[in-house]
Amino acid sequence: MAPVATANGNTHTPSIPETLKKVEVVKDQDVQADMDPSKLTIKLADKLKAIPEPETLVFGQVMTDHMLVMNFDAESGWSAPVIQPYQPLQLDPASSCFQYCTNVFEGMKAYVGPDGEPRLFRPELNMARLQTSVGRVALPPINPEALLVLLKKLVSIEKRWIPKLPGYSLYIRPTVIGTRAALGVAASTSSMLYVILCPTGPYFPSGVSGISLLAESESVRSWPGGTGGYKLGLNYAPCFAPQRIAAKLGYMQILWLLGEDRRITEAGAMNFFVVVKRDDGDLDVLTPPLDGTILPGITRASVLALCEAHSPATPLPGLSPDLKLHIHERTITMPEVVQLHQSGRLTEAFCVGTAVIVAGVSRIGFEGKEVKFSMGSDNQQYVTAALANRLEAIQEGRFEWQGWSVSCN
């Protein structure tokens, strides 16, 4: 996708939602229209679970009381949606999701606003991305607007599960799986959509001042023409074995490299950024372009927009209002990162995503050497901290910005 020039001279490729509009999605208006929130049935649990202390939470291990479920078949379309007690699914052993990995999901969060009511962060972008992911693996189409109505209802029912501590939230996992009960390499003509929720705290362990990355080029997470730009289950399993190797070497995540030039794609399952000092005193904020190998992250798009908006009129917290942040979505290679670090121009690296929000990088291992970043209080990563501060304030409804925080009411 060709770069475009912005009003302040920055160059970057279009981010969500522009990128999503470029993705071809198989649409059937009649099929989408029959995903009908007015037909919702609610079956509440007879006995509610005890909510654990927030400090004891481990990401993804404690589920709430209820889930949203609906099914699709080619003859009758989408079934009436049901919010029901959390329970195991019943699936045929030959289901497409088991045999051919027709599994799609999203990652979202709900927060408690100042009014005590639940709020979502830019949920329309998650719904749009889910729609494109469903289309990529030829699953029956969804209705993003209808699904968002249903999702808000589920979150409202489960709002007691949203932790009220700073940095905590209710993680939301909408999932679509192929349920065609037959072998044979073909698209699934039936599917199940379900949404589950889990309370969560900081993604990385407390006390970690920055995450460590091992730059990896022997294995690749995604490739041109593949599925790296979609949120599919099949993108994640091949990363588990290399991740184990990285952990044994003392690194928390892998920085995925691609090609002979060792160009950077993602860090673990997160989008990657670096901050570089310019000769004029301003800062360049760089991230790899959405070239099909990289997931178009909602947090990524939000970081780019916040950096673009930094000015005396709308400064990021802790940054000089007169400091200019020049954003660039362009190829970044690992050798370039090493050279920038050696020159003293590379000041920060950070990763972003729904689960982690914004996390500073403390070190990157590459070809037996390390690129290290100062993470101490005497040399704080100012852009990283400013973005984390502002994003969390927006998500929790403490700072109003562009309508990004959406009430569930």
Decide: 174 and 109 in contact? Cβ < 8 Å: no
**Residue 130 DSSP label:** H
**Residue 398 DSSP label:** S
Q: Which of 248, 172, 167 is nearest to 214 (CA)?
A: 248
Shared domain for 178 and 272, answered yes or no, is: no
Its domain, for residue 256, covers: 206-399
Decide: 264 and 255 in contact? Cβ < 8 Å: yes
Residues in contact with 77: Cβ distance below 8 Å, sequence separation at least 6, in sequence order: 30, 31, 34
Shared domain for 127 and 215, answered yes or no, is: no
Residue 21: its H or E element = helix 18-22
CB burial of residue 73 (10 Å; 0-12, 13-18, 19+): middle
> Has residue 405 been placed in a domain?
no
The pLDDT assigned to 1 comes to 40
Task: Say which CATH number the domain at 228 has.
Answer: 3.20.10.10
Q: What angle do CA 407, 58, 350 make, to 5 degrees?
A: 75
The pLDDT assigned to 15 comes to 46
Residue ranges of the chain whose pLDDT lies below 50: 1-11, 13-26, 29, 378-379
Decide: 390 and 314 in contact? Cβ < 8 Å: no
In the predicted model, what is the mean pLDDT of the chain?
Answer: 90
State which of 164, 185, 200 marks the end of a domain.
200
Shared domain for 327 and 347, answered yes or no, is: yes
> Has residue 293 been placed in a domain?
yes
> Has residue 360 been placed in a domain?
yes
CB burial of residue 344 (10 Å; 0-12, 13-18, 19+): exposed
Distance CA(306)–CA(155), nearest Å, equals 27
* Number of domains, the chain: 2
4-5 vs 253-258, strand pairing mode: unpaired
Q: What count of other Cβ atoms lies within 10 Å of the Cβ of residue 81?
A: 26
> Has residue 20 been placed in a domain?
no
Residues recorded for the chain: 409
Decide: 336 and 272 in contact? Cβ < 8 Å: no
211-216 vs 357-366, strand pairing mode: parallel
> Has residue 365 been placed in a domain?
yes
Phi, psi of 356 (to 5 degrees): -90, -20
The pLDDT assigned to 247 comes to 96
Sign, Cα dihedral of 340, 342, 343, 347 = positive
| Conformational region of residue 259, where left means phi above 0, alpha means psi within -120 to 50, and beta covers everything else | left
State which of 169, 200, 231 marks the end of a domain.
200
Decide: 68 and 82 in contact? Cβ < 8 Å: yes
Shared domain for 158 and 227, answered yes or no, is: no
State which of 160, 177, 200 marks the end of a domain.
200
Q: What is the pLDDT of residues 173-224, one digit of tens each?
A: 999 999 999 999 999 999 999 999 999 988 886 555 789 999 999 999 999 9
Shared domain for 149 and 228, answered yes or no, is: no
Task: Say which CATH number the domain at 117 has.
Answer: 3.30.470.10
**Residue 158 DSSP label:** T
Query: How far apart, in Å, are the Cα atoms of 248 and each of 61, 95, 204, 212, 214?
Result: 24, 36, 17, 13, 11
Shared domain for 92 and 212, answered yes or no, is: no
> Has residue 227 been placed in a domain?
yes
Distance CA(320)–CA(317), nearest Å, equals 8
Shared domain for 69 and 164, answered yes or no, is: yes
